[in-house]
Structure formats: C-alpha cells, structure tokens
C-alpha cells in the first residue's frame, strides 16, 4: 500500500528554517534496531545554516512533538527541499 501524506501545518522561522507536520496513512513504524511504535504524523524539518543544508524527517504526534530523534528514510542533505523529502519518504517506506 502506498503511503499518503497530508499537510497539517507549515511553520516558517525565517528563510533558513521551515517545518511541516504531515498526517501519514498508513501509520509509519519507527525505531532504531526494532520497531518502537507507529506514528500517524511525521515532521519534515528543513534548515540552512553555516554547518548544513538538509531536510530531516521524524515521527511525531498530532501536536508536532517528535517521538523519536532517529531520522526516517527520506531524510537528506541535498538542501532545504521538503518536496524532495516527501518524494523520498514515499519511495523508501
């Protein structure tokens, strides 16, 4: 079954940091070596600074709180590119 994402909220903290909370269907399993749980939401966090230009994906709750800091598949260091991260997230999960 293909993963679907639906934008819940987008937060821009200036031109160098953007965060989007998406509802995912079906829920995504998360955990380091073994599944720790399933998340119905994921947080896409895109940043650009002197040290990095990257977009990370984390499992989250409905309020945007990160459930586990281990990055989900689709996170990348190819710039502040949430659409690319969404595409990769869907391909890898």
Give one DSSP letter per residue of 31-65, joined into a string. -SSS--EEEEEEEEEEEESSS-EEEEEEEE-TT--
Strand-by-strand arrangement of the 4-12 sheet: 4-12, 17-30, 37-48, 53-60
Per residue in 11-55, pLDDT (tens digit) is 988 889 999 999 999 999 999 877 899 999 999 999 998 889 999
pTM summary value: 0.91
Give the tens place of pLDDT for each residue, 68-88.
Answer: 999 999 999 999 999 999 999
Q: Which of 65, 44, 64 is nearest to 54 (CA)?
A: 44
């Amino acid at each position: 079954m293909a993963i679907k994402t639906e934008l819940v909220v987008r937060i821009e903290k200036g031109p160098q940091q953007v965060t989007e909370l998406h509802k995912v269907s079906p829920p995504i399993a998360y955990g380091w070596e073994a599944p720790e749980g399933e998340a119905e939401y994921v947080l896409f966090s895109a940043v650009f600074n002197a040290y990095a230009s990257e977009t990370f994906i984390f499992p989250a709750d409905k309020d945007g709180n990160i459930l586990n800091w281990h990055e989900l598949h689709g996170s990348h260091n190819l710039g502040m590119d949430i659409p690319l991260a969404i595409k990769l997230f869907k391909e890898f999960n």
